[in-house]
Structure 1
Amino acid sequence: MPNCLNCHEPIAKKASFCLYCGAKVVQERITLKRILSDFVETFFGWDNKYFFTTWSLVVRPHVVLEEYASGVRKKYVPPLTYLIIGATLVLFSLTFFLDTYMNDLQGINENLKASFGIPEVKNTEGLEGQVSQEIQGQIIKYFNLVTLILIPIYALFTSLIYRKTYNYAEHLVFNSYIQGTSLVFIFIFFYISLLTHPFIYSITTFITIFLYLYSFGKLFKLDAGTSILKLFLFLVMFVIFIVVFIALLVGIALLISKLHN
């Protein structure tokens, strides 16, 4: 009786999988056809957890959230991993194509100014370009970090607003999945905007809002009015947080500037 090449336990001669470790029994030699077949099966087949998780979160997000919280986890990518994959896809896109997107957007803004007869301010083109490059650099440098830091903030807000049944840790899971799905749409619409019109990218804001509205509404079995009200409270809390955070940063910067002077 042959042994499994992975765990070295005995297996039947005609077995397709090892009963002990679950590894597939491979008897044929490596060929180009086998390599391509494995690639397609791994990355594009329904066996791929990432694509299955993404598709499930698009068509029935509340089911994924409920199942994962109740212990159904094997068929889904873990929430933090799912979030990091989405953030990495977006970061890759921003790293290589953000400059193209910003140039397209600047060209449209200039055309709009010309259409409405808004006068150009001389000697500002270089300054605008420098500021634009600095903003792009900061976005790329801190994108993944900011994405991860904001998840606990989102979870705090949703746990306060949707207080029934689930604890804070479970809200971390919910927000990681929703934000990870939002990043997938950002990734897709970013490239669509490059090929069509930069303003197409702004659709992702409404998609993210809808994901929260639909996911939490279904998960907590809320009517449309209550769902909209709770989402509005969530957005208000987030805006207040951003305003306070920016005010603190400005205050700290001014304080440091005075201390240096």
Structure 2
Amino acid sequence: MNCKNCKKELLEESDYCNKCGAKIIRNRLTPKILIQQVNEEFWTVDNKFALTFIALFKKPESVINGYINGTRKRYIGVIPYYALALTVLGFQYFLLQNVFVDFFTSQTNALLENLPENQEIPNFNNLLVESMDKMNDYISIVTSITVPFWALGTWLTFIDKSKHNYTEHLVINLYANAQILLITFVLIILFAIIGFSDFLTASLLTTPLVIGYTSYIFKRIHKISYFNALIRFLGAFFIYLIAFSIISILIVLVIVIYAFATGKF
């Protein structure tokens, strides 16, 4: 008998592969077995998702430094965890676009109400709204694009406090962003359920969560005071805003040029 994952030869009585650690599966899939596997992966107390989610609150340095230093069995790796968070984000926007429609469209309505009509470019406001809708359709990609800018900011502001390189700062920020996406999913859906009328305001209310929680992570990783970590992260936030704003302006310019070229203006 060979391991179905790494192909190593196994003893017949083996329950786990002694090379890759995979569990030996002998039975065909049935609804009962499928439910048991889902339960083992996501809902049991000792599953990796629960351990990772809880540890990123209680001792984030254990998860993040462990991954950076090569300890990657106990917790979910950074890429799978971030991918899971993006899946949850996609589900959030599916619910907002199809279930809590009034709550979701409030951001578009607020934008149209507060934007004066551009007399020189009459269709500019509509194009801007269309661009927002497109961004919502590709929200996972848009969200992922922001992470390198967060990493740039934290790498520059914490460069004297650790030996983490830029790639390792990417890991830190991927874990932090994934955790924030999971938390904000609960908050945004809760706001929608209780009838909170403004999606844009609800989204902005999560900004203190981003700043507060990520500062807490860097406090734990670098063993500095929370105030020190907060000040540094606010500096990182400022760098992120500058870098991302420049990229966003360039994207808008491309959209406008494309609109002129295709005759939408």
TM-score relative to the length of structure 2: 0.73
Of the three residues 208, 212, 215, the one matched with 1:213 is 215
Q: Is the 8 Å Cα contact of residues 159 and 167 (structure 1) preserved in structure 2?
A: yes
Of the three residues 146, 157, 163, the one matched with 1:150 is 146
In structure 1, the gaps of 5 or more residues are 111-126
Measured in 1, the distance between the counterparts of 2:39 and 2:78 equals 24
Mapping of 1:118-197 within 5 angstroms?
134=130, 137-163=133-159, 164-196=162-194, 197=196
Cα offset for 1:42?
2.5
In structure 2, the gaps of 5 or more residues are 110-122
Mapping of 1:235-250 within 5 angstroms?
235-250=237-252
Mapping of 1:1-261 within 5 angstroms?
3=1, 6=4, 9=9, 11=11, 13=13, 16-17=15-16, 19=18, 22-24=21-23, 33-98=32-97, 101=100, 103-104=102-103, 134=130, 137-163=133-159, 164-196=162-194, 197-198=196-197, 201-252=203-254
Aligned equivalent of 2:114: none
- Rate the CA distance shift 1:55–1:16 in 2: closer, same or farther, 3 A: same
**Alignment length, in residue pairs?**
243
Letter in 2 for 1:187: F
Q: Is the 8 Å Cα contact of residues 216 and 226 (structure 2) preserved in structure 1?
A: no
Note the alpha carbon deviations across 1:204-239, whole angstroms, 9 max, x for none: 222211111100012112223322220221122122
Q: Is the 8 Å Cα contact of residues 153 and 237 (structure 2) preserved in structure 1?
A: no
Measured in 2, the distance between the counterparts of 1:38 and 1:216 equals 35
- Rate the CA distance shift 1:175–1:257 in 2: closer, same or farther, 3 A: same
Q: Is the 8 Å Cα contact of residues 192 and 200 (structure 1) preserved in structure 2?
A: no
Between the aligned residues of both structures, percent identity stands at 23
Cα offset for 1:167?
0.7
Letter in 2 for 1:221: K
Measured in 1, the distance between the counterparts of 2:8 and 2:246 equals 60
Measured in 2, the distance between the counterparts of 1:259 and 1:242 equals 26
Letter in 1 for 2:178: G
TM-score relative to the length of structure 1: 0.74
Residue 11 of structure 2: SS of its match in structure 1? Answer: coil
Q: Which has the larger radius of gyration?
A: 1
Q: Is the 8 Å Cα contact of residues 82 and 175 (structure 2) preserved in structure 1?
A: yes
RMSD: 3.8
Q: Is the 8 Å Cα contact of residues 11 and 19 (structure 1) preserved in structure 2?
A: no
- Rate the CA distance shift 1:55–1:135 in 2: closer, same or farther, 3 A: farther
- Rate the CA distance shift 1:246–1:41 in 2: closer, same or farther, 3 A: closer
Measured in 2, the distance between the counterparts of 1:252 and 1:200 equals 29
Measured in 1, the distance between the counterparts of 2:9 and 2:202 equals 56
Measured in 2, the distance between the counterparts of 1:257 and 1:5 equals 56
Greater CA drift, 230-239 or 196-205: 196-205
